[in-house]
Structure 1
């Protein structure tokens, strides 16, 4: 599906403006030209090579000016530290601490500021800092990049490279584990802004937040998502020589912008990134693929407008809405029959299902992608030039940062989407109590108005049920029918849930991939708990929804697949959706960072937990291994 979608996007981007002059407003063509300039600048490799390191070098010069390596007070002076973190943050680069805005979990109509540990320190997962081979290779790569950038400093580079990686190792050790990072019961720590500075007196968080906030907004309250990390960070700052920060800040900028540069100096890092993913070090995707993704990242809503025109019909939107509504109905029936929840919780849970907002296909507000003037206004502050790839990328980052922070002081915009329309994915947003399905995931073969409905319900329907089940998983259950983080479950219901959830934790912890040392590496049953619960609940709700529809209007069979019953084909369609391959190195990284179990485990585990699957295939044992709904 991604492949089909990417190819279609390529055709859109490489064709001339498709609008008919008679009825297309001038803004539509203007938007298309901005989209095309974004794509063309990325495709123009000759110019990118000619420009070489210059734009990155300019950025590094600014960092050297803000935070010079030579000490101007003492080797441990922190002058300029906050200024450099702010400079990078405005470019969308996280250094030392991450600040952002979003709905307040306890008041989901209000926008609040949060501060956390960086999502990624330097290597893709904090566990990789325990792998001596990877760390040594990483040191060599950083050394080689800086040696090419600053040949005159060769004598000092070995020491500064080692010091930088040692610093990152300490940052990684201080940062939260993946399973705790998104746990609202652990990250929701409101503090007054002035109190955040007490956690990191050497890094003024208040200064960072004030610099990113609109000038007319005063922030007084902050959600500190990892207080212990900030305390440990402050100790690290005071214990670390100043020169290390200079190297660290430059390295963050290089990691953020290396892919927009064609120059020998950054080749070692490009090769290293490939190796970490298990690819051939010299490999690179076809250029058009890189550029399609770049256009989607930068001006994705304009791209979405042209994608919808080609790939998503009104009939598809109607069917998608109907499937999601059917699954909501089935989930209510499941809740009504649930024996482990107390009645007062069931009643509130049913209200929560009724309240779930379903967004299907594409946004029609914030921005309305079908309205060219709305799209033009959305991107009016982004300047794009068909010959400045690096500068375009920096402009997109800056635009996103400004857009995110401009939400402060206003009510939460519930019309926003977090995924562009061609994205082959979906999500549930707990404070918004909404499930969102971009048109990209509503494509053949997992969804189509023309195929038998057991295919669409088996794949897309299960995804819909999965997202809806997130409203009651280990995270979603903490949010009530209005999206408030609150204790709305009784103690008895919570105890029953935890007991049933433990079954999923243990079941999935038995799945393994081969670790980098050749030994089995177990799936993290706690990190993947929410997704595994959602898979089980979603599949069951989708099956019941399809059965009810098929009773009204029987589905046709598929030629050549007469061996399978339609019930069995429902599960084949689901499983086919998760069929995939991963390189061993990528599989290991995902174990550390991905809240989803490996794809094959999502098939085997979910089938083992499906009473309906066991019935359809006449398994000896009809009892699920684990079951919630």
Structure 2
């Protein structure tokens, strides 16, 4: 865990087609605790996605309140291939009956009705939206890179390490070979099938050896329990506790150790353990799988693993509490923390992981959990604990083996997300993600060469800089903030670091020698898929703990370059936009600026707004967790924030019992505030630029004003669909509101939108900035 702070982003920390429930919790039980370094780096960030069409009166009934936009002359229309492509994307997404819809009340259907009709979920998908399509387009490009030979000198673009630096050609080729070896090993399904359950069985045997049953429960005070937790940690897994390193929220240049409840207990959220039918179905799967890996064990013992999980889930903080820095930032001495749960011998765990670095102080995300954990361990039979540890390994690594032993769990995971029980992504997709998880920075180097440009980087920097300027204006105009707080807030905006496109340090992806050095200790083979996964996990864990005793490396990125996402990091006071999100249809230097400002610009504004939302407001201009707002400003903020809480709590999805399941307005508060603030700041930034350099119109959309097309571009982001079970899981675990609500709620809170469409009421439902 990078810090005790919550780093949230546009739609979550993982690929948008399988979004997480939260940056540090898993939305799907099948997601393993892999890539701990990246996951824990993202622990403190606010991630955009966990995962845009406008009409005018001439397209609507005569009773519509809108007036038609002035019809542009032919010379005002952009007819380049890029503009035609952008226009067709918007027209493609509009509802077939858009002329009959009122944008002031049915904007999401108006914008996205066509998208839903033209996009079906594959059997292996729980949900999908525009970000999913973008991610899969990036996956396809990465597939072509990985399945092609190393590019010849003549095939390198000008935006390449071969051109931008005196890098070693041989190192670049060796890096590429490492990539393709990992990819080929993953694609080698015959070998994976031949090995069957044996790679996972070896892990199970190691766990049983570490936690033998030739003793009584009263003997747990020895290091046997902590050594088993350490064994799981070596594999990148969280057992009874999760531990990691990252910036100290109150002193963000110092690396601190953090301890928390596991990110995932078993089912997607603690609330799902209250569903009796689901729990019993899950119990049956656990028994069926474990009885084959531990045939010597009594089935009652195996069944009790689920009872243990229920107790752990009940003791764990809610997702909402995990997002609240005032709840999870609990610094204390290692001695005091260890006293909360003597059975797990926290001192032994931390001293071993810290490799000689003295640790006197750490952050305990939930002291109450540790106290409850001590009681739970004391009341649990050793055989159940052993089976629980085995089950953690199964959950983490079942997808890396091909065996009927784990088939029941694969089916359960799919069903839990509403998917076909026997479905699986195309193998190449799995393997592209596998390479990105383990060798993401090398993969990023080749992605940048194919999918990014210097012009795109400059344009992205310009948009972000423009929005920072507009946010300063908003702060100056905010009447509910006192002068002292406003002055510090403006300083915070000026201090925000913007990272665009790709990292040039820690590592420098444009320097093959630097990349080779970075991954020097990561051994990859073209024949051993399972071992490659273990090596990647061990590499990430070692990298994370190696930061102890060193200053925080502020040049690190928490997302690889192909990632279609973005984030704000409170302790680092930085906003980060990988090149993966700066792609069509949300970003394009060759189309009218209102498209990129409406979509990508709103993303940039969203991330910047996080600096002043319900979490970001606790961090000052230097990233320190401290109370820097006056009491009067805090009260004024809370009063306005309560409007957002109540507004989004009125949105619902069908629950498992077909009763309405309400969005958690408090869990999603930060994201909803960021959506509203980001949209407004980006709109103002675009209008200022458009006044200096007028935009052309898109063909076929001449009846829309450019103001309206700005909101089209924004809303196209969130066009999507979801299976019922996936939607339920997200309500409990995702700090983002459902995609459709991010359109309806944000438009309801936009004065500019309501004025653009001449809605009867121009007053926003909720307004902060």
Instruction: Choose which of 542, 546, 549 in structure 2 pairs with 1:409.
Output: 549
Alignment partner, residue 566 of structure 1 = 706
CA distance in 2, matches of 1:26, 1:194: 50
| Equivalent residue for 1:210, pick from 332, 351, 355 | 351
Q: What's 1:167 paired with?
A: 308
Could you tell me how far 1:227 is from its partner in structure 2? 0.2
Structure 1 residues 295 and 74 mapped into 2: Cα distance closer, same or farther (>3 Å)? closer
Q: Secondary structure at the match of 1:4?
A: helix
Q: Which runs of 5+ in 2 are unaligned?
A: 1-133, 157-161, 163-167
Deviation at 1:183, TM superposition (A): 1.1
Aligned with residue 201 of structure 1, among 342, 349, 366: 342
User: 2: distance between equivalents of 1:264 and 1:197?
Assistant: 41
Cα distance between partner residues in 1 of 2:640 and 2:295: 60
d(CA) in 2 for partners of 1:256, 1:151 = 21
Q: Deviations over 1:194-228 (max 9, x none)?
A: 1111001101111111111133x111100111000
Q: Greater shift after overlay, 541-550 or 120-129?
A: 120-129
Q: 1:127 to 1:247 in 2, by over 3 A?
A: same
* 1:347 and 2:487 are equivalent in the alignment: yes
Asked whether 1:176 is paired with 2:317, we answer: yes
SS at match of 2:137: helix
Instruction: Assess if the C-alpha contact under 8 Å between 1:105 and 1:485 holds in 2.
Output: yes
In the alignment, is residue 110 of structure 1 matched against residue 262 of structure 2?
no
Alignment of 1:371-520 (within 5 A): 371-520=511-660
Residue 101 of structure 1: aligned partner? 245
- Asked if the contact 2:500–2:579 (Cα under 8 Å) also holds between the matched residues in 1, the reply is yes
Deviation by residue 1:59-86 (Cα, 9 ceiling, x = unmatched): 1101111112x34245664541111001
1:229 paired residue among 354, 369, 373? 369
* 1:143 Cα deviation after fit: 1.0
1:248 and 2:248 are equivalent in the alignment: no
Number of residue pairs the alignment of both structures matches: 624
1:162 Cα offset (Å): 2.3
Superposed, 1:64-213 pairs within 5 Å as 64-68=208-212, 70-74=213-217, 77-79=220-222, 80-153=224-297, 156-157=298-299, 159-213=300-354
Secondary structure at the aligned position of 1:264 is classed as coil
Q: How far, CA to CA, are the matches of 2:495 and 2:453 in structure 1?
A: 26
* Contact kept in structure 1, 2:286 and 2:302, CA below 8 Å: yes
Q: Output the CA distance in 2 between the equivalents of 1:478 and 1:614.
A: 32
- Give me the whole-angstrom Cα distance separating, in 2, the residues matched to 1:147 and 1:78: 28
2:601 & 2:730 partners in 1: Cα distance? Answer: 25
Range that drifts further, 433-442 or 51-60: 51-60
Partner of 2:169: 25
Could you tell me how far 1:18 is from its partner in structure 2? 1.1
TM-score relative to the length of structure 1:
0.98
C-alpha distance after superposition, 1:292-323 (max 9, x if no partner): 00000010000000000000000000000000
- Give SS of 1:623's match: coil
Alignment check: 8 A CA contact 2:606 2:675 kept: yes
Q: Deviations over 1:81-113 (max 9, x none)?
A: 111001101110100011011100010100000
Change (3 A) 1:212 1:240: same
Determine if contact 2:645/2:669 at 8 Å carries over to the other structure: yes
The separation in 2 between residues aligned to 1:250 and 1:78, in whole angstroms, is 20
Higher relative contact order (CA 8 A, sep 6+): 2
Structure 1 distance, partners of 2:290, 2:342, is 31
For 2:59, the equivalent position in structure 1 comes to none
* TM-score, normalization by structure 2: 0.80
| 1:212-361 superposed matches below 5 A | 212-215=353-356, 217-361=357-501
Whether the 8 Å CA contact 2:259–2:365 is kept in 1: the answer is yes
Identify the match of residue 555 of structure 1 among 688, 692, 695.
695
Give the structure 1 partner of residue 752 of structure 2: 612
Output one character per residue of 1:590-624: Cα deviation in whole Å (capped at 9) or x when no partner.
00000000000000000000000000000000000
2-structure distance, mates of 1:254, 1:3: 28
Give 1:582 shift. 1.0
Instruction: Tell me the secondary structure at the aligned position of residue 653 of structure 2.
Output: strand
**How far apart in 1 are the matches of 2:148 and 2:734?**
37
**Offset at residue 152 of structure 1 (A):** 4.7
> Which residue number corresponds to residue 670 of structure 2?
530
User: Any conservation in 2 of the 1:76–1:239 contact (CA below 8 Å)?
Assistant: no
Does residue 1:369 correspond to 2:534, yes or no?
no
Equivalent-residue separation in structure 2 for 1:3 and 1:171 (angstroms):
36
Q: Which runs of 5+ in 1 are unaligned?
A: none
Q: Distance in 1 between matches of 2:666 and 2:580?
A: 30
Tell me the SS of whatever aligns to 1:119. coil
Q: 2:699 aligns to what SS in structure 1?
A: coil
Which digits, 9 at most, give the CA deviation of each residue in 1:254-311, with x for residues without a partner? 1111110000100000111100110000001100000000000010000000000000
The 2-side partners of 1:144 and 1:598 are apart by 35
Structure-1 separation of matches of 2:349 and 2:482: 46
1:336-370 deviation digits (Å, cap 9, x = unpaired): 10000000000000000000000000000000000
The answer for the alignment partner of 1:2 in structure 2 is 135
Alpha carbons 1:76, 1:241 under 8 Å: kept: no
**Separation in 1, partners of 2:398, 2:136:** 25
- Find the aligned partners of 1:164 and 1:78 in 2 and give their Cα distance: 21
**Residue number in structure 1 paired with 2:188:** 44
